[in-house]
Amino acid sequence: MTALGGTVVPTPGGGGVGRHSLAGFVHQSDVVDGLGRARLGNGLKLLEGGLILAPLIGGYTFLQTRPCLGETQQKAHPRHKPDLPPRRSAGKVKALEPKSQTMTETTKQPEVVPSDFPAVSGKVLIAESDPLFGRILKTKLEKWGYQVVLEATGNGAMEFYRMDNYRVVITSADLPGFNGVELCRAIRALRRPQYTYLLFTATGGDKDALVAGLAAGADEFMAKPLNALELGLQMKNAERLLALEDKVNLGGGVDLATGILTRYAFVQFFITVLAKSRRAKGIGALLFVTINNDMDIFHRFGFEAQFLVHKAVVDAVQPALRQSDLFARVDENEFCLLLHDIPMENVSLVSDRVHDLLKGLKVEFSETWITPTISLSVTSFPQDAMGAEEIIYEAPRQDCPVAK
């Protein structure tokens, strides 16, 4: 145990067990965790409340530790009185006051708090060969509410990226196997429907790595070692860019993954169709195509396979559509066909056609054939006073034959 020039000064009352003030006697590195557990050496024992039981001639005495930077002041033990002024001794030893924490707060960098982020990206993939830097980065991002996967190799990071929809990827320049530049190029070559924000990291003075990363498709560059404030601002920029892209895509009305209408655009069209049907006392139907094993496909084969299955289902249904029909994606695993001016008894003609088109559908992925399990259901409109979204998501449906 290291003494930092502090001196134990006995309180009035002499021997026995008394309360003492400890000024700088316990070093911060001596304390393991601040929860009353420590290895102090020299026969000292750390008790609850920051008290130290120290052996003296004729017995033991209690000592009060000085709080470490950033920790709250320890409360006095309830069984002992507050510290009294020290008695003057031959050496005129003066008890030192604990350092104020307000001095450190004025120089501390401001931190971007988790509530600042709109949580668009959600999942973050980190490709980092330095285990310490990677753990620090992962811990900080998880504190801000992100789901983080940390991978030490470029090849492994690419496998993770293919398996899930990561909107933000943070990659180091130096990676075994696939290096950071090659990883950026490979990600950009996939041309996913949703944009991926790439943050490239390297040592501060490596200008060549900076240029190579940006040329390979990285959006931004961050120097090592980690600066938490800079990381927070980089993530805010990523969220802003991704939110803007999602807003533009939503406003355009087309689902980029499948090429059909988005849920938002479909609802807006359906509101108009529903109002017209009520005025003209007309009737129509909504035919739903649901991929029942969608999440199983995702967990077994990953995001890329799930995307290919969605596209194959949409392409297969296209020949059954009339020019006046609207086809849209209304949920992660569900599509909806709006049939104008058609009574329910005639919907079976369309559902049978869709059933035949989807029957036996298989999708090839990575030398494996995936068979989606698809069900068809139907509901009519208008229905009493139900609005457009209520009919789509809450109205009772009638099952159609299952396409197997």
CB 327 within 8 A of CB 314: yes
Q: What span, in angstroms and rounded, lies between the C-alpha atoms of 47 and 78?
A: 13
Residues of the chain with pLDDT under 70: 1-121, 248-252, 401-404
Q: What is the pTM of this model?
A: 0.57
Task: Identify the three-state secondary structure at position 55.
Answer: strand
Q: Looking at residue 171, what is its pLDDT?
A: 96
DSSP of 148-207, one letter per residue?
EEEESSHHHHHHHHHHS--SEEEEES--SSS-HHHHHHHHHHH--SS--EEEEEEETT-H
Q: How far is CA 107 from the centre of its chain?
A: 30
Q: In the 3-class helix/strand/coil scheme, how is 292-358 assigned residue by residue? A: CCHHHHHHHHCHHHHHHHHHHHHHHHHHHCCCCCEEEEEECCEEEEEECCCCHHHHHHHHHHHHHHH
Under a CB-based contact definition with an 8 Å cutoff, are residues 354 and 289 in contact?
yes
Q: Which residues contact 346 (CB under 8 A, 6 or more apart)?
A: none
276, amino acid identity? K
- Output the six-digit token pair for 179: 């290096």
Say which residues have a Cβ less than 8 Å from residue 328's Cβ, sequence separation at least 6.
255, 260, 261, 262, 263, 265, 266, 335, 336, 338
- The whole-number pLDDT of residue 346 equals 85
Do the beta carbons of residue 125 and residue 169 sit within 8 Å?
yes
Q: What's the confidence (pLDDT) of residue 124?
A: 95
pLDDT digits (tens, 9 = 90+) for 264-289: 889 989 999 999 899 888 899 999 99
User: What's the pLDDT at 259?
Assistant: 86
What structural domains and CATH numbers belong to the chain?
Answer: 1-108 (no CATH), 114-251 (3.40.50.2300), 263-399 (3.30.70.270)
Helix (H, G, I), strand (E, B) or coil at 102: helix
pLDDT reported for residue 252: 63
DSSP code per residue over 224-280: ESP-HHHHHHHHHHHHHHHHHHHHHHHHHTB-TTTSSB-HHHHHHHHHHHHHHHHHH
